[in-house]
Structure 1
Amino acid sequence: MGKRLLILSAAMGAGHDAVAGELARRIAPRGVEVCVVDVLDLVPLRLGHGLRRMYGAMLRGAPWLYEWVYQEFFVAPGPPPASPLTVLIARGLERRTGELPPDAVVSTFHVAAQAAGWMRLRGRLEAPSLVLVTDFAAHRMWAHPGNDRYLCPDEASARAVAERTGRPAARVAPVVRPGFRRAGDGGRLRRAVGARPGERIVLVSAGAWGIGGVTETARGLAASGRYVPVVLCGRNGRLRARLREDGIGHALGWRDDMPALMPGAYALVDNAAGQTCREAFACGLPVVSHRPIPGHGRDGAEAMARAGLSALARSPAELLEILDGLGGERARRARQRRVDLLFDAAQADHVIRAALG
């Protein structure tokens, strides 16, 4: 009888699901039955979907409110309380694991980590529970002492999680599709936007939901005359239409061929410090954080900059200054050494397969 792995994710943006999907792709061919579950689907009365809509609405229209929520519940001192949402997800998860008992559980979303840890601590989950932390700034919602092991993006976050939980925590390489490690010639992006020889294309990422001040960022890049902004609008059709109407650079919708597009860019300007940054690291594309979204976006951008993986531009003028300096050979080599160290770590799927026995 084969082993069974349960991966817990959530469609809050696309990053958590991208990691869960890549883990499943790597592990399933090894004779393991892999099931990926969106924990928000476990909440009754579609309340989880309401939470997702509320989160998106806060980021788009009331970022100050999300910042307040983040400060009160995500980074406040002490362990987080067991919220009603955690308990509801745990109850749904208990029913799910009772029907199909897994041999291991992996959480790629912080509320999933809370629910799995809550169950494990109370003896309601027999399988080992691992947490794959997908934020560079590992806030307290990732950390629950009930989980058995933590897989973190770097040494700093691993130390922080281990101190909070008393559980083993170690660094693992970013979980990205293999295509990002095989950089192409970049021709697809240049053809897609009609770039002329010598023009420097800067990708401006707005995430899967197309949020943040990317319009202002693209306008500043275009006005400089030195860069051609290409905004990755995700699934936000309104943003894409608005950019096209205003004639600000180029606007692309959701794309599945990012491994072929990224090598054609000069740099990535990002505002969320999420999976898109890891994909850029994998293909050697420099990352600059600018106008980060509040909460985890800002903290993640600062953490990446402290680690020397990216730069953080705190003003439009500084953004242009940083971009102008990216072409220097010394800076490029130093950045690449740090990125190579990021990927020179244990593979998350190897650790998970060991937990499966």
Structure 2
Amino acid sequence: MAQTSLILSASMGAGHDAVARELARRLRGQGHEATVVDLLTLLPAGAGEALREGYRFAVRRLPWIYAAVYRTFFGSGSRLRGDATPLARAAERQLLAVVSEVRPDVVVSTFHIAAQVTGGLRARGALRPPSVVAVTDFAVHRQWLHPGNDLHLCLTPAAADRARAGTGRPARVTGPVVPPHFRRAAAAPASRWQRTLTDLARGRPPVLLSAGAWGAGSAFPETAALLARSGFLPVVLCGNDDRLARRLSRQPGCLALGWVDDLAELMTAGRALVDNAAGQTAAQALAAGLPVVGYRAVPGHGAEGVREMSAAGLSEFAAGPAELLHVVRRLTDPGPFREQRIAAGRAAFTADSARVIARTASTHGVPHPL
């Protein structure tokens, strides 16, 4: 029987939207209906845009302030509250209006504030469909957790343990949500990127550096120069940061790219990914068979996620330039170490989150008291 899912995302970077789109695609492929809504559009006029731009500015320009905010309101040491945050409360009325219109069998959150909204409404009995939280981070910070939600889908066993301990509610390990073409790309014929990088590299192993959708992070020119001097071809993914792309395009021995639509093909042409956030790009690399190194992590969720991803055995961690070069050499050289890292990454994809969501919808959950 066809079901209807309402998926709540947020246009904060690109990762939350990417997961929401992929979940919707899979649900529709199973014969269900899926509607994706940006939670920021449900906030009072101007609040969503202000939240996005404020967060973007802090992460890119004032990282020490964002780190302090994260420790206070998001970090594992902060106390979990059972009520939704004031910002989440501001979206409740509009969300209930959307629920009344869409009439979903299940509501899915791919953004932490959305999880606070649905958790608060579900706990008070105002939201009748079951609520599933699809956590997109390797580190499950406090704002992902609200005991009103019915189920958390997590990337690793440690993340699921954190969700269960923080909410007293069920949590399941499903692994990252990544489009299937990232897994298929490794077996595809040589792509244009393989030909392009082979021509440019001239024997130097191509190493991708991820700056995320917003170009967030520090010392990309320095890291690229270090890799270039050490016999690698640094390929910097600058996202939508045109200024960063222009700056790096003038750097000898470096290939700077803006937004890349065929990222799966590019990943199969690389030998390793240097990542600073443990976000969707890192998850896509695991699916594509591209080993990941965490280095110079962005503050807050990025630093915590990089540590958790490494602790789960899904990536390496480099604390400084010398360690980065050592790890990158081991990962780019053919041999057991590289193959073990690739196998561990692909093993992280343990279940189809969309099928779990569909089964949850079929239970016709009802509000539960806390």
TM-score (normalizing by structure 1): 0.95
Question: Structure 2 counterpart of 1:124, which letter?
Answer: A
Aligned residue number for residue 134 of structure 1? 136
Question: Structure 1 counterpart of 2:281, which letter?
Answer: T
Aligned residue number for residue 28 of structure 1? 28
8 Å CA contact 1:5, 1:104 repeated in 2: yes
Aligned residue number for residue 119 of structure 2? 117
Aligned residue number for residue 356 of structure 1? 361
Question: Structure 2 counterpart of 1:94, which letter?
Answer: L
Aligned residue number for residue 54 of structure 1? 54
- The question of 1:205 aligning with 2:210 is answered yes
8 Å CA contact 1:185, 1:263 repeated in 2: no
Question: Structure 2 counterpart of 1:236, which letter?
Answer: D
- The question of 1:217 aligning with 2:218 is answered no
Question: Structure 2 counterpart of 1:257, which letter?
Answer: D
CA distance in 2, matches of 1:94, 1:271: 37
Question: Structure 1 counterpart of 2:155, which letter?
Answer: P
Aligned residue number for residue 160 of structure 1? 162
1:19 is paired with a residue of what secondary structure? helix
2:162 is paired with a residue of what secondary structure? helix
- The question of 1:70 aligning with 2:70 is answered yes
Q: Which has the higher contact order (CA 8 A, sep 6+)?
A: 2
- The question of 1:238 aligning with 2:246 is answered no
Aligned residue number for residue 101 of structure 1? 103
For residue 283 of structure 1, the aligned residue among 272, 281, 288 is 288
Deviations 1:271-321 (A, max 9, x none): 110011111111111100111100110111111111111111111111111
CA distance 1:245–1:59, change in 2 (3 Å): same
8 Å CA contact 1:186, 1:261 repeated in 2: no
Deviations 1:51-102 (A, max 9, x none): 1000010011100010011000001332145322110122221121122221
The 5-angstrom pairing of residues 182-193 of structure 1 reads 182=184, 183=186, 184=188, 187-193=191-197
1:2 Cα deviation from its structure 2 partner: 4.0
8 Å CA contact 2:290, 2:342 repeated in 1: no
Aligned residue number for residue 18 of structure 1? 18
Which range moved further: 45-54 or 87-96?
87-96
CA distance in 1, matches of 2:129, 2:253: 52
8 Å CA contact 2:233, 2:253 repeated in 1: no
Question: Structure 2 counterpart of 1:232, which letter?
Answer: L
Question: Structure 1 counterpart of 2:148, which letter?
Answer: G
8 Å CA contact 1:186, 1:265 repeated in 2: no
Task: Number of aligned residue pairs: give it.
Answer: 355
Aligned residue number for residue 338 of structure 2? 332
CA distance in 2, matches of 1:30, 1:60: 39
CA distance in 1, matches of 2:30, 2:347: 27
Identity of aligned residues (%): 48
TM-score (normalizing by structure 2): 0.92
1:35 is paired with a residue of what secondary structure? strand
CA distance 1:268–1:185, change in 2 (3 Å): farther
Aligned residue number for residue 250 of structure 1? 255
1:186 Cα deviation from its structure 2 partner: 5.2
8 Å CA contact 2:289, 2:342 repeated in 1: yes
Which range moved further: 21-30 or 262-271?
21-30
Aligned residue number for residue 305 of structure 1? 310
Aligned residue number for residue 179 of structure 1? 181
- The question of 1:342 aligning with 2:343 is answered no
Question: Structure 2 counterpart of 1:31, which letter?
Answer: G
8 Å CA contact 1:186, 1:262 repeated in 2: no
Question: Structure 1 counterpart of 2:200, which letter?
Answer: A
CA distance in 1, matches of 2:183, 2:73: 36
1:219 is paired with a residue of what secondary structure? helix
8 Å CA contact 1:59, 1:211 repeated in 2: yes
CA distance in 2, matches of 1:2, 1:26: 13
1:256 Cα deviation from its structure 2 partner: 1.3
1:185 Cα deviation from its structure 2 partner: 5.1
Q: Which runs of 5+ in 2 are unaligned?
A: 363-370
CA distance in 2, matches of 1:186, 1:71: 45
User: CA-atom RMSD, angstroms?
Assistant: 1.6
1:44 is paired with a residue of what secondary structure? coil
Deviations 1:104-158 (A, max 9, x none): 0010111110111011001110000000111101111111000001110011110
Question: Structure 2 counterpart of 1:228, which letter?
Answer: L
Q: Which runs of 5+ in 1 are unaligned?
A: none
1:342 Cα deviation from its structure 2 partner: 1.0
Aligned residue number for residue 146 of structure 2? 144
Which range moved further: 130-139 or 29-38?
29-38
8 Å CA contact 1:180, 1:259 repeated in 2: yes
8 Å CA contact 2:119, 2:148 repeated in 1: yes
